[in-house]
Amino acid sequence: MLCTKEKCTGCLSCLNICPKNAINLINDSQGFWQPEIDETKCIHCGLCHKSCPVFFKPATEVFSSKVYACWHKDEKCRQQAASGGLFTALMQNALKRGFLVCGATLTDDIEVKHIIIDKPEDYTLLIGSKYVQSDLSDIFRQIRTQLLNGCKILFSGTPCQVAGLYAFLKKRYENQLYTVDLLCHGVPSLHIFKQYINHMEHIYSSKITDFQFRHKPGWRRYQVILKFANGKKDITYKDTNPYIRGFLNANFLRPSCYSCDYTTLKRYSDLTIGDFWNYFADSSDDVDDDKGISLLLINNANGQNLFNSAKSDLIYFAKDFERSTATSPRLHSPTKKPVTYESFWQDYKIHDFAYMIQKYF
């Protein structure tokens, strides 16, 4: 039994666990992957139900969470990253120690998918924000195989993806598997992202070859840069780019995002990272220079060990837990469904994308 469309997070744990490959993915009318059982193949083993994080939440340990503000000591690594370069430091140190690292990359076809890397020089494939739901495909199966072979793995994803991985594995693999989740606003519709790509390619009469969701001339007002095959660039800012404005307006998030179970201080990952937007300095040594500051929550002993391995490459400051988390909305409640949600999708069925941008973005 699969969960309902309204609750499904698209983690694909059910697809990965099925021993008969009886679960297919369909792309629904809003552009979200939905698992669907092929009854001609199903043997009714119930593994899809037992591996769904909607029904079975992963185990957690009692731990007094800690909060840090962090940024990479290397100015280039900090500049490359969306916030302070914390995940870069975690990746670099994991790869140096022979870990595999799994995270989201933007492909040459401008699609977002999870991949596994093992070379230190490949860390750049996984840096930076990607405001589209990542395709996990059979990545959980790949991770399980590597764990059973004795490999150590660092996995990064949204909170529901981390929960889906643990639900699939049925155990945490402490000291072998390390997980990092993100402070998540929600995952946007793949259809809307592709429509935006098509819209911009029509305007520039050229294919997009690169999409930088967050480029940092400044951290708080970052740029969105689209590069085209004809050599042209489209450069806007977070408050002027239509796609980012639409994403933040939240009309086209996955339905489950509006009732997300993971937007609380109870985290299932080892570490939680994000932008420290409500940053406050405690001394003259930790002032905000607008180059990017990462917020870090250490959620358990496994996470503490992971942070310890990377902190030599970081400038970090312990911060007051209550003050740091009180005004971070995705640690307390899901993104609210906007009042324009229904009208957005009704208009989407009958109007062209230029109309949608003008009215809703």
pLDDT for 291 beyond 90 = yes
pLDDT in tens, 145-166: 999 999 999 999 999 999 999 9
Question: What is the rounded CA–CA span in Å between residue 93 and residue 156?
Answer: 15
How confident is the model over 221-269, as pLDDT tens digits?
Answer: 999 999 999 999 999 999 999 999 999 999 999 999 999 999 999 999 9
Instruction: Please report where in the chains the tokens 């039994």 appear, as a residue.
Output: 1
Q: What are phi and psi of 236, to 5 degrees?
A: -130, 180
pTM: 0.96
For residue 168 the two structure tokens come to 């699939």
Q: Outline where DSSP puts E strands in 97-152.
A: 100-106, 112-117
Torsion sign (Cα): 242, 244, 247, 252: positive
